[in-house]
């Protein structure tokens, strides 16, 4: 999903679609007796999201290094 084409209208439509998918899955689960899993509609991945994920991974690696000093990570 291209963030440049992501508008408030598309965001609202994606929210509505997610709700409808959830309702449909719920009705199907009631009919079949099996739990249904749903995938949310795609959203754009923004630069801030990528930076947050990178920071989260860096903090995780630092904690691993502190708690397990004799283990080397595959990424460095």
pLDDT at 75: 60
pLDDT of residue 56: 96
Domain identity same for 29 and 64:
no
Query: What mean pLDDT do residues 14-35 have?
Result: 93
pLDDT recorded at residue 35: 87
Q: Which of 68, 75, 11 is nearest to 43 (CA)?
A: 11
Domain with 74, as residue range(s), is 45-76
**pLDDT of 36:** 83
- Same domain, yes or no, for 39 and 52? no
CB 68 within 8 A of CB 58: no
In a shared domain, residues 33 and 60: no
- Confidence (pTM): 0.60
**Phi and psi of 6, rounded to 5°?**
-80, 115
Domain match, 4 and 39 both: yes
User: Do 53 and 38 share a structural domain?
Assistant: no
């Amino acid at each position: 999903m291209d963030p440049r084409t992501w508008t408030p209208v598309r965001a609202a439509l994606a929210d509505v679609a997610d709700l409808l998918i959830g309702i449909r899955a719920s009705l199907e689960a009631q009919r079949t007796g099996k739990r249904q899993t749903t995938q949310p509609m795609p959203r754009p991945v923004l630069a801030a999201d990528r930076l947050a994920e990178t920071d989260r991974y860096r903090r995780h690696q630092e904690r691993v290094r502190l708690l397990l000093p004799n283990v080397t990570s595959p990424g460095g």
